Amino acid sequence: MPKRKNSTPQQRIEKNALVDFIPAVFKCTKSEGYMVEYHYRDKITDKLIRKRFYLNRVVKSYQKKSDGVIHARRIVHELNEKLKNGWTPTFETEDQRLYTPILQLREIYLNDKRRDVREATMHSYSSITKMFNEWIEDTNRTGKVTGNFLRFDAVCYMDYILEKGTSNRTYNNTLKMMRALFSWAIERCYCKENPFANIKTKTKEAKKRIIIDEKHRKKIAEYFSVEDPQMLIVCKLVYNSAMRPKEIANLKIEDLRLERRYIVVRDTNAKNKKARCATITADVIEYLKRFEEYPGEFYLFGMNKNLKPSDRRCAISAFAKRWDKMRSLLKLPQEMQLYSLRDTGMIDLLHAGVDELSVQHHFDHSDLSIQAIYTNHYDPNLNERIFMNAPKF
């Protein structure tokens, strides 16, 4: 039976994950002269790395050899003090950011992005990255640094997102956010590869919205005109003015240009960060005239029971809650969403003969291909329209 080899002191130390370094020692050999040798734990590979540097010039610079040795031993003492305090030679190289704890990446990223993106976008960034950090903690990956968060970890995280029962759309949005986070990390030298880069997206689900025909719009208008007049204006701004709920929530009194028949959508509120003028209809103008005496800095839809102007804006979710309540009372289909009014307004303008380019600009689309996506809805009146207007063979 072969004799079992005894492990060396260094090998025994390497197995102990609690040991972060082996103290520096001063050596002198015939072949290499004076040197210092020590070991430090690499936080990416989690292994002890041997490090050497030579002090021949330092020792020989003294007239007395003993003085040179004293200087060398002082260097060793100072080096060991630094090692005790967590220093490693890595932090003196260009790769020091690779050793940033993975949990800190979120805070650094959000602080950097806060200068460039809208408040609503920041909320999305914050929410998705918060969930990522919670997963890091739950799976005991808190010891990882940015440089060794690998593709396997990324796959495990996306599996976790899938296991939560999220939709393909949410899965894809999360994947997009994680790719963006680590692309930024590469740019800023916190990692060298994007672990999410080669993970495939899921098949996109069809948007669960249908157009809202005139009969149902009339019911909705009758309900809101009695129960919630401000919400009726929200609906008209979505349908006629092609405004998005987030843009409406951020409107201020000073954005109204009633005499010119439009509302200014500021670049800081617009989805594509481009300011535009949203056309408003005569009935909306008449209704909004009552608010012209409010301070200009007041939000048009405030945080109060009636959504009246206030110095604090309403939550964007307030529109959805009021819409859902109405839809439930009127027993409308689940697919009839507030945003459906925007798609319906676009289709109705095209049916009314307004040219595609004008509709594209009105709805703030970058090109006509985007318009085609949003007009691809089931139209319950299509058969009747074709029947009544079909040309004779």
Assess contact for 233 and 245: CB atoms under 8 A: no
Q: What is the pLDDT of residues 294-314, one digit of tens each?
A: 999 999 999 998 999 999 999
Mean per-residue pLDDT, 248-258 = 94
CA dihedral 157, 158, 161, 167 (to 10 degrees): 170
- Residue 34 pairs in a beta bridge with 28
Residue-level pLDDT at 393: 62
What integer pLDDT is reported at residue 375 of this predicted model? 52
Query: Are 242 and 182 in a shared domain?
Result: no
Please indicate, yes or no, whether residues 361 and 246 belong to a single structural domain of this protein: yes
Count of structural domains within the chain: 3
Residues 78 and 119 in one domain: no
pLDDT at 182 over 90: yes
Kindly state whether residue 33 falls inside one of the protein's structural domains: yes
Helices in the chain by DSSP H: which ranges?
9-15, 56-60, 65-84, 102-113, 119-138, 151-163, 168-187, 214-227, 229-239, 245-249, 282-288, 316-330, 340-351, 356-362, 368-374, 382-389
State the Cα angle at 385 between 381 and 390, rounded to 5°: 155
Instruction: Tell me if 290 is assigned to some domain.
Output: yes
Please report which confidence band the pLDDT of residue 130 belongs to, taking 50, 70 and 90 as the band edges: very high
Name residue, tokens 């309540």: 325
* Same domain assignment for residues 68 and 151: no
| CA pair distance 301, 288, nearest whole angstrom | 11
Query: 374 or 26, which is more confident?
Result: 26
Instruction: Establish if 195 belongs to a structural domain.
Output: no
User: Which residue from 242, 344, 341, 241 is spatially nearest to 285, judged by alpha carbons?
Assistant: 241
Listed residue (35, 271, 118) closest to 126, CA to CA: 118
Amino acid 331: pLDDT: 94
What's the mean pLDDT in 261-280? 86
Given 41, 70, 93, the domain boundary residue is 93
Report the CATH number that the domain containing residue 310 is assigned in CATH: 1.10.443.10
Q: In the chain, what percentage of residues exceed pLDDT 90?
A: 41
3 band by pLDDT with thresholds 50, 70 and 90: low
- Please, what sign has the CA dihedral across residues 291, 293, 295, 297? positive
120 shares its domain with 239 = no
> Does residue 358 surpass a pLDDT of 80?
no
Examine the pLDDT at 114 and tell me if it is beyond 90.
no
- 20: domain range? 9-93
CA distance linking residue 330 with residue 216, whole number of Å: 9
